[in-house]
């Protein structure tokens, strides 16, 4: 978190102290030396540096496509039995000596940044990430943007919004309703420039929450960085791509595939499109873009909706994190 004062409670280490504690774990054995799982034994291995990741739950639910406005502090979407609620957060700004409102994350940038952070956390095997060098390289390589000026400020602003937000996920089955609440990012250290012209607050260090990090180790969905780069300016296309990446390889074709009605697709991806026919037109165009970067994907559009068919994953080989239990033991040895 931001440095509110010079007094630190030794019982509650900040992100930098935690990073030092975890350094021994990071040095013992890199993720590249861990288990290599082959989704397709005949496919060539991919370069781990060209693989991004999204959490499987976030592949099924979406952030706002456009800026909902500073006055909107709560946002929600539904996918079947799963509902996501995102609440805009607050962050401490040492320049004013108080907490300030931070808006909701929106558009392609927070999605892209989260893919990158997930990949960095899995690669380094630590929930604590120093961002400056890796984020700048990602902006240049994957987004194809000049990592200076307005471009990087926009990315960092969305990172601050994502870091400050609180998430709730609700689901139900039979007569049971379950709510999970928390934050993806547990702590962050803000860079607060004294120059009044540089008004963007942005995290230079972030720390994933323990629950999110441990869950990510088990439920990370691999994404092709080249495909992501080609969709980098279209938030809906990114959401559809990640949804298909986590869903299609689990479809059982013996049962005839999985049908998804237009009403459900509209509820999941149709934020901002009140009329179903307008959404259908945009969604069909978006699917063509996704199909171009994920040619292995198999689906059909019908009058009633969309039929999903079993398909190969967009990343045929992926590096997996070691079992969470093993990581936990290793970090305390």
Per-residue pLDDT tens listing for the chain (333 residues): 434 444 444 433 333 333 332 333 333 333 333 323 333 333 334 455 579 999 998 998 889 999 999 899 999 988 888 889 999 999 888 878 899 999 999 999 999 999 999 999 999 999 998 877 777 778 777 777 776 767 777 888 898 899 999 999 898 888 899 998 888 998 887 665 555 455 456 667 889 999 999 999 999 999 999 999 999 999 999 999 999 999 999 998 787 899 999 999 999 999 989 999 999 999 999 999 999 999 999 999 999 999 999 999 999 754 444 433 333 333 333
Q: What is the DSSP string of 158-194?
A: HHHHHHH-EEEEEEEETTEEEEEEE-SEEEEEEE--S
Contact 67, 106 (CB under 8 A): yes
pLDDT of residue 135: 76
Q: Specify the pairing of strand 220-224 against strand 258-261.
A: unpaired
> Residue ranges per domain, the chain?
15-231
Q: If we measure between CA atoms, which residue out of 64, 88, 87 comes closest to residue 269? A: 64
Residue 281 to residue 89: CA distance in whole angstroms = 34
Contact 85, 170 (CB under 8 A): yes
Q: If we measure between CA atoms, which residue out of 222, 31, 184 comes closest to residue 105? A: 184
Beta bridge partners of 306: 260, 301
pLDDT of residue 19: 34
Beta bridge partners of 317: 38
Contact 301, 284 (CB under 8 A): yes
Q: Cα-flanking dihedrals φ and ψ of residue 151, to 5°?
A: -60, -50
Sign of CA dihedral 299, 300, 305, 309: negative
pLDDT of residue 54: 96
pLDDT of residue 32: 36
How remote is the C-alpha of 319 from its chain's centroid? 18
Q: Taking the CA of residue 109 as centre, how many other CA atoms within 13 Å lie in the half-sphere pointing to its CB?
A: 21
Please tell me the pTM assigned to this model. Answer: 0.78
pLDDT of residue 204: 75
């Amino acid at each position: 978190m931001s440095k509110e004062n010079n007094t630190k409670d030794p019982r509650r280490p900040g992100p930098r102290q935690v990073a030092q504690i975890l350094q021994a774990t990071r040095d013992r054995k890199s993720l590249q030396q861990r288990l290599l799982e082959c989704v397709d034994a005949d496919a060539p291995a991919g370069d781990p540096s060209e693989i991004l990741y999204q959490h499987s739950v976030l592949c099924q639910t979406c952030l706002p496509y456009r800026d909902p406005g500073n006055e909107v502090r709560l946002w929600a979407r539904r996918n079947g039995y799963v509902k996501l609620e995102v609440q805009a957060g607050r962050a401490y700004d040492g320049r004013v000596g108080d907490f300030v409102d931070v808006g909701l994350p929106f558009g392609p940038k927070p999605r892209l940044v989260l893919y990158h952070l997930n990949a960095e956390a899995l690669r380094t095997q630590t929930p604590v990430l120093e961002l400056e060098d890796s984020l700048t390289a990602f902006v240049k390589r994957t987004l194809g943007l000049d990592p200076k000026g307005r471009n990087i400020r926009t990315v960092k602003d969305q990172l601050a919004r994502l870091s400050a937000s609180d998430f709730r996920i609700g689901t139900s089955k039979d007569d049971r309703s379950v709510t999970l609440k928390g934050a993806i990012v547990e702590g962050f250290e803000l860079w607060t420039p004294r120059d009044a012209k540089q008004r963007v607050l942005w995290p230079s260090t972030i720390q994933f929450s323990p629950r999110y990090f441990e869950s990510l180790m088990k439920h990370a969905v691999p994404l092709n960085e080249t495909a992501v780069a080609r969709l980098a300016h279209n938030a809906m296309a990114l959401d559809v791509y990640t949804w298909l990446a986590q869903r299609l390889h689990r479809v059982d074709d013996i049962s005839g595939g999985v049908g998804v009605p237009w009403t459900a697709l509209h509820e999941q991806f149709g934020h901002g499109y009140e009329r179903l026919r307008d959404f259908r037109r945009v969604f069909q165009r978006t699917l063509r873009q996704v199909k171009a970067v994920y040619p292995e994907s198999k689906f059909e559009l019908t009058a009633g909706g969309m039929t999903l068919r079993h398909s190969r994953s967009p990343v045929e080989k992926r590096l997996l994190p070691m079992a969470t239990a093993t990581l936990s033991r290793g970090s305390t040895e």
